[in-house]
Chain A
């Protein structure tokens, strides 16, 4: 990974994240409608034409065979290689990493990474558990998070009120993001009185589902149409699990993906002005910030209470509302994390702008497990 050519972001595109299922007056929009809208917006943002794009990596999870091809057919047919990337919730960031490497290695000068999803309706049938474990009732994702939450509470003293505070902070930020599915703030009391899903996690500790599309164009600096406020991809990493058990302590894949990203960027956590941490479940944001290196284990709840991670705090986290407000279209989520950092560094985040943001980190993780980190800088 040494001596790679600089890769910069030429433009980004994102749809409003919402439910596009065609029911109760809501519009029906397929994943390719959402993905192609985001791609066109990214081209417009970059001042580019589709003919400028030399390769495409498309992240999605539930969209079936050739979903990137179906999406790009709505834009243009130029014979370029299209590769579909399925890496669960890290699909989009995995696609971006491939685009970054292709430009860095000088294989192409201009590559698009896209992420899109129209989520299946009804409860998601996960095949991550064998049938006998499903018969024993293990196939409840919030229960997995709940057990990790119980451990976190045991080891750090964090409380259910702390987790409610994460939801409150992110929903406040989301109220300033017109692309978020949830734009109404909530109170600590509302979170703590929402229905229990898997003890100790409640309905408002969980991010809502959504459909949506995202796209990021990565290129070499000489291909930029405008050299105003250029944003460089300083690092893009991806890690999977290291063997670990109750008896054998293995490395943590989230921590490692962040360590590798900081090393690649030649920067440290103290250089980040804004962070998009991973908040599928609100307690997850706290241990995520610790594993990413922004504070020591058990410190995140205290810093949260002091307002450290607020929009006006020392290190604003999930300024666009995070998954908690945006909603979670699996294939699109990871690039939405990156797009917010890009907007902040460009000074284009409107009412949620962090003054003087010059560098930031976006994280996406999930089933696999995968953990992908992207660092952007001016």
Chain B
């Protein structure tokens, strides 16, 4: 520990801390030609549905429902994931109709169900080797 530890995002550009309503929002792309919505954004600026390069950066809804989920009982290979095991992953269908895979938090792992209302939470993922707190997006149950 050098004393210079910081709080850093897992990856730049996945979300904004303060969206139009002052709350965090995931950032996606909308194709201005076919209307398809993507998360994460298309780094190369190409719509993989209609091949247009006419994409606009948008704030995605903070809310959605569980489309599918799994409770993972083993540690993933490679040592990249440093969190608790078991842990839950979910595909959450956001209000724009885009599926986002993410970690699920603030819930008893046995209580996760398809159709459950979820909302975005920016939360600690782990501490990196330099002692920085690495933040990421997660989903937690919401009041609909």
Q: A132-B11, A198-B71, A199-B73 are in contact. Are A139 and B80 (CB under 8 A)?
A: yes
How many chain A residues touch B (CB < 8 A): the figure is: 35
Q: A132-B11, A139-B76 are in contact. Are A245 and B49 (CB under 8 A)?
A: yes
- Is A140 a contact of B114 with CB atoms below 8 Å? no
- Is A140 a contact of B72 with CB atoms below 8 Å? yes
Stretch at the interface among A25-33, A47-55, A123-131, A215-223: A123-131
Point out the residue from A137, A148, A195, A246 that lies within 8 Å of B103, measured CB to CB: A137
| B125 CB to nearest chain A CB (Å) | 7
Within 8 A of A (CB), among B48-84: 48-49, 67-74, 76-78, 80-83
- Is A148 a contact of B68 with CB atoms below 8 Å? yes
In this complex, which of A132, A134, A201 has the most chain B Cβ atoms within 10 angstroms of its Cβ?
A132
Interface flags for A40-77 (1: CB within 8 Å of B; 0: not) read 00000000000000000000000000000000000000
The docked-state distance in angstroms from the alpha carbon of A246 to that of B82 is: 30
Interface flags for B97-134 (1: CB within 8 Å of A; 0: not) read 11101110000000000100000000001100000001
Measured between beta carbons, the chain A residues less than 8 angstroms from B10 are: 132, 135-136
The docked-state distance in angstroms from the alpha carbon of A69 to that of B5 is: 52
Measured between beta carbons, the chain B residues less than 8 angstroms from A142 are: 70, 72
- Is B49 a contact of A243 with CB atoms below 8 Å? yes
| A15 CB to nearest chain B CB (Å) | 27
The docked-state distance in angstroms from the alpha carbon of A132 to that of B134 is: 11
- Is B81 a contact of A134 with CB atoms below 8 Å? yes
Q: A133's closest neighbor in chain B, by CB? A: B101
Q: A135-B81, A247-B36 are in contact. Are A151 and B67 (CB under 8 A)?
A: yes
- Is A137 a contact of B78 with CB atoms below 8 Å? no
Point out the residue from B48, B68, B76, B97 that lies within 8 Å of A150, measured CB to CB: B68
Q: A125-B78, A134-B78 are in contact. Are A199 and B89 (CB under 8 A)?
A: no
- Is B114 a contact of A154 with CB atoms below 8 Å? yes
The docked-state distance in angstroms from the alpha carbon of A248 to that of B37 is: 10
